[in-house]
Structure 1
Amino acid sequence: MMQRKLALLVGIGALTVLLMLRWEHVMTLVNLMSSKQPSAEPELPPDTITPIPGSRHLMVSAFKDHRLGGAIRVSSIICRQELQPLYCVLCANTDAKAVGALNQCAFSQAKVDVHSESFGFPFVTSDVLCMSPALQQATHVSITANPYANLTFLSIHNQEVKESFRYNFTVCISSLFGEYNNALQFAQTMEMYKLIGVQRVVIYNTSCGPDIEKILKYYRKEGMLEVVPWPIDKFLTPSTGWKYDLHHGDIHYYGQLTTLNECIYRYMYQSKYLLLNDIDEIIMPYKHANLEKLMGTLQQQHPNAGVFRFENHLFPKTQFDDSGRFRLPRWRSVPGVNILEHVYREPSRKDVFKEWKLIINPRSVEQTSVHSTLKQFGLVFKVPSDVCRIIHVREPRQAQLSKDQLFVDKKLWEFEELLIPSIDRALNESGVL
């Protein structure tokens, strides 16, 4: 009998301790919401990258994902060696007259979805998902590992599903860094994109040279360009290469994967299609007059596809057109590559990885890498290179090949009549010339 009573007392004691611990956890959350809940002006991030309190992780921006039942997706950069519990604080602005006043909040544990592509780097593009239905009308969110930290809130974008879009084609350029100043090629590429139907270009800017700065200002004023500040080097040591074993650093290529994914959600309900490619590449239709006709045909032929992959074709900047037709004296003072002079294309190699780039329906994609998507809702279609290919003017990959071993490709010359005057206008009005 005594043993039975002793066992009963031990059981009651253990249960009491468990309840006390559980109550302490509940009160921690209650105290957090009562002491930390913003009641006037919330602290909003001054920049596009914000540290997550109590961790080495970073948050970038927040979006409602209607494909996941209205879950809040916070684009983030997670240190994969230091994964830890993270928490969402979702708040609603219930007073329309008091701009920035957050009057109602809910607290829940976050789900961390680390992207499968990291190229070996310790800091990885990730999604922090707030799945709680407790506050569907949330307008702001904060992520924290420390319930007692001061919170910084992100505005939640994509609150409504839209069926019509401001732009048909938007180009997402992942990052400018290293005082990039290839002004002539950038202006030529921007004007070429206009002629084939691009209405918007988004660039994530860490640093650029003085001539590029002038051209960015010109296109921003014109309305074609959005420049997103990207001070990743203030928080991490970015790598200037793609692979950790070779290039080292904290994060792949100045956070290229994060910016590409951020751009997908930023323009999910602003653009019908997104082009995901580098600043020195042009996704060029070869059998259609422009991107609209190209994608109209491809979408009709492949109605269930939401991702279209295009093969990269390299035009070495070391090989020049012999005629000198576009070696214009007025462009000699502009720093950068004159892509119209480089009409020789390297042959495709079957045994070498092809650096595909993408045109996507952003509402069909959940996560992307550089050359392929990681998670998508529709099918993926590889577009034949005779239909559309990437014109990529850069250092040669097959430097041993002589000029007569290369293909002559003068596709850009077909736009000469409209292209040359528009390039001149951009260089003059930007003050580069």
Structure 2
Amino acid sequence: MTLATPAAQETPERTGRPTAVITGIGVAAPNGLGTEQWWQSTLQGTSGIGPVVDYDASRYPSRLVGRIAGFEAAEHIPGRLLPQTDRVTRLALVAGAEALADADANPAELAEQDGYGEYGCGVVTSNATGGFEFTHREIRKLWTQGPQQVSVYESFAWFYAVNTGQLSIRHKLRGPSGVLVSEQAGGLDAIGQSRRTLRQGVKLSLTGGMDSSLDPWGLVSHLASGRLSRSDDPATAYLPFDTRAAGQVPGEGGAMLVLEEETAARARGARVYGEIAGYAATFSPRPGSGRPPGLERAARLALADSGLGVEDVDVVFADAAGLPTADDEEAAALRALFGPYGVPVTAPKTLTGRLFGGGAPLDVAAALLALRDGVIPPTAGIDRPVPEHRLDLVRDTPRQAPLRTALVLARGHGGFNAAVVVRSPETA
């Protein structure tokens, strides 16, 4: 297993390489546990953002979160795993199992088939915060009861790589695996790394991202970033590309995806959602350097990697920071790429909050289902779009459209940028 951050950029060398396709999707999101429930909630504009209910947050300056309500881990995973897992790992296990079931892929069975082998299936995930709730509970025991009361599972339950490890063990995914730590951009970086493993001979990789850090200490950590909205209105707290934009809402969850080499996937009769046609990552320079941000370059590199041009993109799933300066920078990048109002832009994460390592994989899942259904999910709550942005923002209601190619963008705190190009199976 590797702990990694992404390369500064991807080299566009598409010819002759194996094609990576998505055959399974699993979702755990604030507005829906399970792929189809979440997708219908997203199209209907059902929000998962609300006040903190698990503890008294009245003295916190920000009191809204995107929390998965009613999630009972014991209903979804074996009891023996409960003492050793944090909430984030339980969510990853549920979404991972759904993705593999959706792909009709049993790694243990595939390992016995010609062309897979024992190390033919791996897992690469993204995580930004580790096992927050588990760690803070055990630290409280250390302070109040002594070290003898601290769980032995604390040795790994806190770690960024724990989701990868537990998924690997549970599903016998013994091939090349890893974890990417680049905040909101990390989920795209995990998908890009999974695609690399397929090009090195892996036949199937479970990939995506999951985060959950909304306990009292976790919320304090998010507050320390200075990026959270202080609104108490769930409908208007997180408004990217709006004149009232004043911060973000933290959320939990994400998506897991089954990424397969296309020839192997079709040989076993797998249903294909779409192709990961292009990927790239860049780093933005430090603020005040005078050099441009790296998001536009990441998008151009991803398109070059896919062999497509800007004219081929039918929809953009934006990073949508909800911070005026960051929104201005992303809008400028989109204008430079597509021209004013040049392509439909959406940010369904306004219904979930920002999910950190899980946010971008959820956008990729949305892009795949948008291509499947010919519909662009809306950006909720944007009543006053910034005129200077000149974006064709899909707002409030879904937009029907013929879709073949989507561009997904993500930025992580600290200068991370990533872009993924998704194509429909008809064009893959």
Higher helix share: 2
TM-score, length-scaled by structure 1: 0.24
Higher normalized contact order (CA 8 Å, seq sep 6+, divided by chain length): 2
Higher strand share: 1
Larger radius of gyration: 1
TM-score, length of structure 2 as denominator length = 0.24
